[in-house]
């Protein structure tokens, strides 16, 4: 059969029909070394430029495992490629199969062919029925941008020699921002998401999740305590990005709208919320507004605690995390919002530990009791907007 090398073009995009990331420039193509054996199925990998924490061409090339490919063929949909790896050579000589090279079939009855691909290669448990079980890693540093793609019904080798596979981000990306008042500074010690689902079943034919998480009590630290010194955000009307301890959270798409925290202490055991540990003070003179810059200033100070004192608060999480969406939660700590609802009756120290010193208002000396808002005259509200790459901005007030 007189054929030429077949290159399967792979584009990492927002949807299965897109060949570039939304809001990105032209695809950036990598060089491919053409082989003499024209019957081998090869891959030419292309991608648009995007943020560093999202998988791009460089990330795929530096991952020694590569990505996984499987395919079915014929009317009976028998397995053609059984979970093989395709990867970039460490010597930068190009892409190839990690094991035995895969050739295009020569017989008509071996078509159509349905191609499926995914990344990362590890951590994906294929079920044998074109679905995969996936569980989110417990710690952010182990979480990866999970990608999937398919091209079905390939009836013959295309005249162009190319079959397109458009990879799709299939998790939800979570990040946080902070807004403070113009004359205020906020020290944020930690941010976490509590009681969300961590697993699901992905259907490669539908390119979608087919099951709701069976486990709902997972928690993920975006910025983990103890963070000493804490992140300092000086007053500005523009949201400032919070740098996560290990980048963005990559979490399971799921509907949390009926599981959001009801602002009761009992609800903390099962309901979904964002947890924030912080303190606030006037930038010009250091006057304490929320928490204390020096534990010795607390009226009940007994010498057992040193350093700053922080409050631990929560915000309900009434959201529906969708596949391929990036969610940016803006935490308003400006004195005009609620400041979150207190969930720990005692101050937290610089090591993230309970100080046994009760939370009080530094200005009035009056106690603040869980689950009261830090600023009781201001209510919690949400607005949602959508931007490129499905970015959803959510204010936590």
Judged by DSSP in three states, 132 sits in strand
CB 63 within 8 A of CB 86: no
Give the count of beta carbons closer than 10 Å to the beta carbon of residue 111.
17
Q: pLDDT tens per residue, the chain (397 residues)?
A: 433 333 434 343 333 322 222 222 222 222 222 334 545 554 444 432 233 346 666 776 788 888 888 999 877 778 888 888 878 776 656 767 788 888 888 888 889 999 898 988 887 888 878 999 999 998 888 888 898 988 899 888 877 666 777 788 899 999 998 989 999 999 999 999 999 999 999 999 999 999 878 778 899 999 887 666 678 888 877 888 887 666 889 999 999 989 999 999 999 999 999 999 999 999 999 999 999 999 999 999 999 999 999 999 999 998 899 998 989 899 999 888 899 999 999 999 998 999 999 999 999 999 999 999 999 865 444 333 334 455 666 766 5
pTM to 2 decimal places: 0.81
Chain length of the chain: 397
CA distance 117 to 135: 18
Take residue 54 and report the two structure tokens written for it: 């999202």
CB 250 within 8 A of CB 325: no
Picking from 356, 220, 227, the residue whose alpha carbon sits closest to that of residue 279 is 227
DSSP H or E segment with residue 340: none
């Amino acid at each position: 059969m007189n054929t030429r090398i077949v290159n399967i073009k792979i584009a990492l995009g927002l949807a299965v029909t897109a060949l570039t990331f939304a809001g990105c420039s032209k695809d950036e193509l990598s060089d491919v070394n053409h082989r003499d054996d024209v019957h081998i199925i090869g891959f030419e990998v292309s991608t648009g430029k995007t943020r560093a924490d999202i998988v791009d061409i460089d990330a795929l090339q530096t991952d020694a495992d590569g990505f996984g490919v499987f395919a079915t063929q014929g009317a009976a949909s028998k397995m053609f490629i059984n979970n093989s790896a395709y990867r970039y050579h460490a010597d930068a000589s190009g892409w190839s199969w990690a094991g035995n090279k895969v050739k295009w079939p020569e017989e008509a009855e071996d078509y159509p062919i349905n191609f499926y691909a995914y990344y990362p290669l590890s951590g994906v448990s294929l079920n044998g029925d074109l679905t995969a079980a996936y569980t989110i890693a417990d710690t952010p540093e182990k979480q990866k941008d999970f990608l999937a793609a398919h091209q079905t019904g390939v009836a013959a080798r295309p005249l162009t020699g190319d079959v397109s596979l458009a990879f799709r981000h299939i998790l939800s990306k979570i990040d946080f921002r902070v807004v403070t008042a113009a004359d205020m500074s906020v020290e944020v010690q930690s941010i976490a998401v509590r009681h969300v689902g961590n697993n699901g079943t992905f259907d490669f034919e539908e390119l979608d999740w087919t099951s709701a998480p069976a486990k709902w009590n997972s928690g993920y630290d975006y910025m983990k305590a103890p963070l000493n010194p804490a992140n300092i955000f000086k007053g500005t009307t523009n949201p400032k990005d919070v740098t996560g301890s290990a980048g963005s959270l990559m979490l399971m798409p799921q509907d949390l709208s009926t599981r959001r925290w009801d602002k009761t202490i009992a609800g903390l055991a099962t309901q979904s919320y964002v947890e924030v540990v912080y303190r606030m003070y006037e930038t010009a003179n250091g006057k304490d507004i929320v928490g204390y810059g020096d534990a010795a200033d607390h009226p009940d100070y007994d010498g057992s605690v040193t350093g700053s004192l922080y409050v631990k608060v929560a915000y309900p999480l009434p959201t529906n995390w969708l596949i391929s969406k990036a969610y940016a939660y803006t935490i308003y700590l400006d004195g005009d919002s609620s400041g979150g609802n207190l969930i720990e009756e005692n101050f937290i120290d610089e090591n993230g530990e309970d100080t046994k010193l009760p939370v009080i208002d530094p200005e009035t000396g009056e106690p603040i009791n869980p689950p009261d808002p830090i600023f009781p005259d201001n209510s919690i509200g949400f607005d949602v907007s959508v931007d490129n790459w499905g970015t959803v901005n959510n204010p936590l007030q």
